[in-house]
Amino acid sequence: MKGRNPAAVSELTYTADEMMTVAAARALRDGMTCFVGIGLPSAAANLARATHAPGLVLIYESGTIGAKPAELPLSIGDGILAETADAVVSVPEIFNYWLQPGRIDVGFLGAAQIDKFGNINTPVIGGDYEHPRVRLPGAGGAPEIAASCREVIVVVRQTSRSFVERVDFVTSVGYGSGPGDRERLGLTGAGPKKIITDLGVLEPDPVTLEFTLTGLFPGVSAAAAKERTGWDLAVAPEPEIIAGPGPAELQALRNLHAGTSSATS
């Protein structure tokens, strides 16, 4: 895979996950500090650093600052992060010195459920907290990331089960129930600025803060996005049609995944 000509990458065919990852990577700017989660957020952040944002500073919860992995890490404890980092500090320092004082430009988060105000649920689905229908691994550092980063980008596949009118449990606060809630709760970060899905991009309405569909990926209709949303999704008058991945983006992303595959084989 690493030796292939970028111009010949599958004749520019790509998957929905690849489109989503590329769109998330494009949202990052060179020179930013980015708090990265494992999975799609990590793939997007590393893709950005490998393409248009070589000065992007990747910070992982395990304490690595300025990690530069050549392949995707398997977890926040993957040795490749420490081996390639500018510095390795303690977990309390990451949170107390870097995250909570607002020194991180952008946090990348995933979600099991997300609602129209960008509130995230990751530990339990259905029932109550003590007796849920499904219990998930939990939040980790996500609540602090959502509270304190200068902005947050959420990367999540869009289904009516994950995009719900009201989350079963609020793990990480987006905009609560609307304008004023973050301020009332004393949250210092600006909150979620984008939800990037496998269908397109949602952004908060400047007045109501309800997430609105503002961009669509090639071949996706607003009707399809509404059908896969558990609330009456608002749609911008003219959603942007977001360009598909370019050859260099696809090649770089597949190289990252190929390195991970060979390391686990």
Q: Which of the following is catalytic: 11, 18, 61, 183?
A: 61
Query: Is 93 one of the catalytic residues?
Result: no
Secondary structure E strands in the chain: 33-36, 57-60, 64-65, 87-88, 106-109, 113-114, 120-121, 124-127, 132-135, 151-155, 192-196, 200-204, 211-216, 234-241
Q: What is the DSSP string of 197-251?
A: -SSEEEEE-TTT--EEEEEE-TT--HHHHHHT-SS--EEEEEEEEPPPPPHHHHH
- Phi/psi for 225 (5° steps) reads -65, -40
In the block, tokens 């010949």 appear at 8
Residue 97 identity: Y
Determine how many CB atoms are found less than 10 A away from the CB of residue 190: 13
Residue 158: alpha-carbon gap to chain centroid: 13
The set of residues, in sequence order, having a beta carbon less than 8 Å from that of 101 and lying 6+ positions away, is: 148
CA 209/CA 179 separation, integer angstroms: 6
Secondary structure E strands in 21-137: 33-36, 57-60, 64-65, 87-88, 106-109, 113-114, 120-121, 124-127, 132-135
Tokens of 10: 């599958």
- Phi/psi for 45 (5° steps) reads -65, -40
Catalytic residue numbers read: 61
